[in-house]
A and B are shown apart, each in its own frame.
Chain A
Amino acid sequence: MALAFAGAVTAAGADPAPRRVVSINLCTDQLAMMLAAPGQLISVSDLAADPHSSAMADAARGYPVNQGRAEEVYLLAPDLVVAGAYTDPATIGMLRRVGLRVEQFDTAKSLEDTRARIAQMARVLGREDEGAALIARFDASLAALEAEAGPRPRAALYHPNGYTLGGGTLADDILRAAGFRNLATELGHRGGGTLPLEQLVMAAPDLLISAAPLPGASRSEAVLGHPALDALRKGRAGLRITSPDWICGTPHVLNAVERLTDARRAMPEGGQ
């Protein structure tokens, strides 16, 4: 109660509702686009308009984009800059030194975190009512998706360079909500890490989830075409997901849950 009161005082005293907000991080871009009042958000990062990274690329085309460099952000004369927890500290430090208010958002590590990020964005934008409504819609959709019980097949996330996501990540929670067990978590992975191709082939998961190929060639993605993986896909369901829904703690994660749930229902014998 006291904390909420203190927060209210700060918000009222310093900046009741910012009028020129600049976002320099892919995830804050999307939250801000969902919650900001018309005209309140004046620029989003260039990644927000990239359909390979952003779940809201179309919406982002309505905003001027920035490259997240301190100088250009300053010239936009914002009264609030929203950034990620891992945005370049040099940029954040520079923006604060020139007197701008910067709010940083931690990475969402679960669906629960997603609610907290929505609430945080609503608070800094002074849009608490919109935030509460969005969270209510998020909870209702999630409850509808999670209701189901049944066999829990095993899925593996296998991204370029053999990158996988284990326990304590948003992707792990998406898999859980969609009724899957995560192979990486069962193998003891916490956070992001490398899953050796050999371990993946030996474990023979029921569903293999990898990212859609990006433009241009790379060695990192070449591993997704390894013959051992082709053999695995032949016997199992392979799924190429469009990754933007998985990246950020926004209500778009529910699209990822929904697509996965559909994939699970389509699996023979419930995946077992």
Chain B
Amino acid sequence: MSRLALALSALVAVLFAASLTTGPSDTSALSDLSALILGGDGPLPLVMREIRLPRALLGLMIGASLGLAGAAMQGYLRNPLAEPGLIGVSGSAALGAVIAIHTGLAAAFTLGLPLAALAGAGTGVLLVLMLAGPRGASITLILAGIAISALAAALTSLVLNLSPNPYAASEIVFWMMGSLADRSMTHVWLALPLMVVGWVGLATLGRGLDALTLGEDAAEAMGIRLTRLRLTLVIGTACVVGAATAVAGAIGFVGLVVPHLLRPLVGARPSRLLWASALGGAAMVLAADLAVRLVLPERDLKLGVLTALVGAPLFLHLIYKTRAEMA
């Protein structure tokens, strides 16, 4: 367990440093880092502190959030298909964020944007849990997810199409696919408070989720209060997914791929999968964000495109396996 933690932490650290030292300008990694830490003359310290640092930090924070949320939802529903992006939570968060921007709420009140995304994400999680039922049967979970995703996407497009601003409609892609391009420290500070609340909440779920693997009755017999666990899960997921989506759009499949890869390495224990998935999610989003900058630097390729290319085949594989179980 500690070996895995060490390996994942080292991977995240390397990717974080790579993210800081990757950019369109030709500067050495050493001068990048010294400009970041020591400052100095010329434009490089500005580039490092205002452009690259927030991007790397957001990749770390958002990846950890999505990995953690995926692991927590899968632990609670005991279903490997429960992923915030796939079941419509990210989409609902994007709808909340878009409404906040286009009604002026985001401009009128500093935390308006992330709180509106939180409200959207919270509505999404609640709807999914209500529709899928406590056991999270695959078929109802996926159907509920499809319905919520489709509705949220349609309403997001509607709000953007109704905007008097001609650029708004072209932003549909950002909200559906996500990007970290040109984010600033402002976005870091907007997202961080809610994320911390969510991280703390979800981190406390470990024991309850472990107990749940034995079934609900057994868990209650072990003193787990299921209503409270459920409430913490809803609030925690809404906080992290809402804050992540508010600043970077909806990035799918991170919460699906990472727990799936790490589950065998933690002995399938949900409590250990939580922190492992947080580290793994951070690594995945940092890697994806590096790839979009190296593969097509001029095009602002969306993060969700890369995560979907990796995640969708895995999703199909999981559905195939689930089908065999249901038969």
Footprint of B on A, CB under 8 Å?
160-162, 193-194, 196-199, 201-202, 204, 214-221, 223, 226-228, 231-232
Contact = CB atoms under 8 A, between A and B. Distances in A.
Interface in B90-148: 101-102, 104, 106-107
B25 A217 contact: no
A204 B43 CA distance: 8
B167 A201 contact: no
Nearest to B104: A217
B101 A219 contact: yes
Given A214-B166, A217-B106, A198 B101 contact: no
B24 interface: yes
B185 to A, nearest CB: 7
Q: Which 10 A-B pairs have the closest CB atoms?
A: A216-B165, A220-B167, A228-B50, A216-B164, A218-B167, A218-B165, A196-B24, A202-B25, A223-B182, A215-B164
A35 to B, nearest CB: 28
Contact of B47 (A160, A194, A201, A216): A201
A202 B35 CA distance: 13
B167 A198 contact: no
B50 A231 contact: yes
A190 to B, nearest CB: 12
Given A194-B299, A198-B51, A218-B171, A162 B182 contact: yes
Contacts of B297: 196
A160 to B, nearest CB: 5
A228 B300 CA distance: 19
A152 to B, nearest CB: 21
Contacts of B107: 217
B34 interface: no
A83 B185 CA distance: 45
B91 to A, nearest CB: 17
Contacts, number: 88
B170 interface: yes
Contacts of A204: 43
Contacts of B106: 217
Q: How many residues of B sit at the interface, in one of the four size bands?
A: 20 to 34
Contacts of A197: 51, 182
Interface in B159-198: 163-168, 170-171, 174, 181-182, 184-186
A266 B46 CA distance: 27
A206 to B, nearest CB: 14
A219 B170 CA distance: 10
A214 B297 CA distance: 28
Contacts of B43: 201-202, 204, 232
Nearest to A231: B46
B8 interface: no
B260 interface: no
A227 B45 CA distance: 13
A231 B45 CA distance: 12
Nearest to B105: A217
B113 to A, nearest CB: 11
B246 to A, nearest CB: 11
Interface in B291-327: 297-300
Nearest to B98: A219
B52 interface: yes
Given A198-B23, A214-B167, A217-B106, A227 B101 contact: no
Contact of B25 (A198, A214, A220): A198
Given A201-B46, A201-B51, A227-B186, A218 B25 contact: no
Contacts of A215: 164-165
B44 interface: yes
Given A216-B163, A217-B165, A194 B300 contact: yes
Contacts of A221: 165, 167
Contacts of B167: 160-161, 214, 218-221
Contacts of B170: 161, 220
Contacts of A228: 46-47, 50-51, 184
Nearest to B166: A214
Contacts of B44: 202
